Structure 1
């Protein structure tokens, strides 16, 4: 009998640092933190070209009901511009604050009438504490504050005024309410100008004013008053629905962090986020935010790298026995609306 002498396998070096540090090393080793300037040149150039071309077509078409097709076009385009501003705020495009802020304010304030400074502050707090609904700390996740809707049964029991009135049947009212989200973004942007903490208030205000004058001026100079108002309603309403369709599936209906609950960064981001499966079309329509788990773990990761990071993050979560939640688009909405309906249960029980 032949005896084959084999050396024992080399021991696996012990893991050092946190679980998130190990995941970061794996993502870095795959080269996913590298910048993608070519991608963003093409993307920003295409969005800017469509924006300019859309307004040229608007002027050429004149006082016609066919303008409502352009209203739908601009609803989608405004959502894409908002996604560009989102990537700029996370410094996916530029490494430094100054060019990110300049381009972000041109896209957000001037382009679509949404304050870049207000939104960046709000979104930063959301990333730090996703789905953290603590009524005693208003600086936690502003996306789950009970301003119109309630996001937990505790919020429902404590609600007053409009949230209490709407909360009983909020799951059925959610999409109709999204038609007002575009107007809400404008209103919140203007209201934020009066906060002393707002950076570059003069510039923010000037660009917002230029947007309002240019947008309303174009509508009422080219269209009759009736058509202008219908265009405004269709455009702003569909833009609001589109914005909700982009941002809501990532977190609504996922785990809520209770007051006093302690989770490390990795688990806080993974357990409160949901990925949405789909084709390249879904990637473009949602601006990469269908990879919400990867985006929340690595907000500065360029959008085209999120798809490549997914198998790394998913495999690592499996190693840790950490739930990695991913659904189709329709299922994500079913889960979100189901959560809203359950959150309003105390109000229905109270009659």
Structure 2
């Protein structure tokens, strides 16, 4: 039995000690959950959600743990218990904003809002497969005779991929099935075979985003500079560059002109994510990560990606054959999906506040989710096009709740935010996109002030 001890919060919430621990292979990875202390170092490589667990080492992870994990996870967590926070130093769950969000979660669970409609998801999956069938029919019928038909088919395929992304997102967040085996299985089919994304790569990236949304240096979704730079924090990469060299840097050129490059960059987003997925599941695909943070990759996942590229390439070479039209089909399908996916991702968080790691430490988990997110006004098209992610704030607060229940809880969430003065931002799709461009422009102007003396 592991000896336990009493800790003070300052012992755990110590940035310098945490940095030392990450360099020392034998040092503990301590985190606080519900006033108990756990050393999760040995569990990191086995964590089903990927390396997201590292975002809360050296922190209080109570709310992020409760938000993402089923009751059974407490049994696993108990294996890593090493002590308690001293009684005089314990966090008290007062009737503050965070406490009321926790109460809302309990209320929503009691109302059955965490239970999915299997008929709803059966329809969504079936409808999406019909989109794929339409795309395939068009290219099979006219692929060898009409470039226009290839463009139409490829565009429809891009829509299919986008919608597969949203469905895989729901299944892998375990919104549909409480049994995680089935969620992972459908996620591998929709995300791997249909979409071409690795489930493990996606979980590792997306769960980290959820744990630290718009936190500079932690959220991988805003770690896109110099192609796209979302905050002045990211401009620190130029801080030590001499003025005469700064004006010659291609990265600065990209930042200064990023509003012009926005859509061309998005056109290659899907292809980039597919390549990242392939690299991630390769034997050395995670060599850049500490050995203890590498995610085990199953043969099923590797096969799912192989199946995706098999049917995709077979579609082009069997039904089109002409090299030029094959290239057109490939380029259009990638560009359409890349733009459709990334437009929604940008609406979700880009243009919203980007916070430093220091600011994030002093901010409760739920406030961080809300002020960095943007809801888009609901409607038949918006709900379908965004895969329910137009309720971005609600999704971040309750990520395992099925999308079809978000409309039921939105008024309660908005009301609670108003009560506590927490900014709850909602807008239309066009206005939201304008906000994204405005933010890109602001950062470009800030970058233009650098190197003026050169």
Equivalent of residue 252 in structure 2, options 143, 164, 186:
164
Distance in structure 2 (CA, Å) of the matches to 1:163 and 1:299: 35
- Note if 1:236 corresponds to 2:326: no
- Note if 1:250 corresponds to 2:348: yes
Helix, strand or coil for the counterpart of 2:105?
helix
Distance in structure 2 (CA, Å) of the matches to 1:85 and 1:69: 24
1:48 aligned residue: 129
Give the C-alpha shift of residue 210 in structure 1: 2.4
Give the C-alpha shift of residue 62 in structure 1: 3.4
For the 8 Å contact 1:156–1:347, the answer to whether it is kept is: yes
Q: Tell me the alpha carbon deviations over residues 111-146 of structure 1, each in whole angstroms, 9 at most, x when there is no partner.
A: 121112101210000000000003xxxxx2101114
Task: Extract unaligned runs of 5+ from structure 2.
Answer: 1-93, 242-248, 288-293
Q: Tell me the alpha carbon deviations over residues 276-328 of structure 1, each in whole angstroms, 9 at most, x when there is no partner.
A: 11421111111110110000000111111111211111111111121111111
1:149 aligned residue: 228
Task: Extract unaligned runs of 5+ from structure 1.
Answer: 1-13, 135-139
Helix, strand or coil for the counterpart of 1:344?
helix
2:108 aligned residue: 27
Give the C-alpha shift of residue 52 in structure 1: 3.5
Distance in structure 2 (CA, Å) of the matches to 1:110 and 1:25: 36
Distance in structure 2 (CA, Å) of the matches to 1:47 and 1:320: 40
Equivalent of residue 420 in structure 2, options 293, 309, 320:
320
1:37 aligned residue: 118
The 10-residue stretch of structure 1 (332-341 or 60-69) with the greater mean CA deviation from structure 2:
60-69
Equivalent of residue 220 in structure 1, options 308, 317, 333:
317
Distance in structure 1 (CA, Å) of the matches to 2:334 and 2:261: 18
Helix, strand or coil for the counterpart of 1:42?
helix
2:208 aligned residue: 125
Q: How does 1:68-83 map to 2 (within 5 A)?
A: 68-83=151-166
Q: Structure 1 pair 71/82, CA: closer, same or farther in 2 (3 Å)?
A: same
- Note if 1:279 corresponds to 2:382: no
For the 8 Å contact 2:216–2:233, the answer to whether it is kept is: no
Helix, strand or coil for the counterpart of 1:92?
coil
2:303 aligned residue: 206
Equivalent of residue 18 in structure 1, options 78, 99, 107:
99
Give the C-alpha shift of residue 97 in structure 1: 2.2
RMSD: 2.0
2:140 aligned residue: 59
For the 8 Å contact 1:156–1:164, the answer to whether it is kept is: no
Equivalent of residue 272 in structure 2, options 184, 195, 200:
184
Helix, strand or coil for the counterpart of 1:34?
coil
Equivalent of residue 261 in structure 2, options 173, 180, 196:
173
Helix, strand or coil for the counterpart of 2:358?
coil
Give the C-alpha shift of residue 30 in structure 1: 4.4
Distance in structure 1 (CA, Å) of the matches to 2:304 and 2:105: 38
Distance in structure 2 (CA, Å) of the matches to 1:114 and 1:76: 15
User: What is the aligned residue count?
Assistant: 333
- Note if 1:309 corresponds to 2:409: yes
2:431 aligned residue: 331
For the 8 Å contact 1:19–1:266, the answer to whether it is kept is: no
Distance in structure 1 (CA, Å) of the matches to 2:354 and 2:193: 35
Instruction: State the structure with bigger RCO (CA 8 A, min sep 6), 1 or 2.
Output: 1
Q: Tell me the alpha carbon deviations over residues 200-231 of structure 1, each in whole angstroms, 9 at most, x when there is no partner.
A: 34332222122223212221222111111111
2:33 aligned residue: none
For the 8 Å contact 2:375–2:391, the answer to whether it is kept is: yes
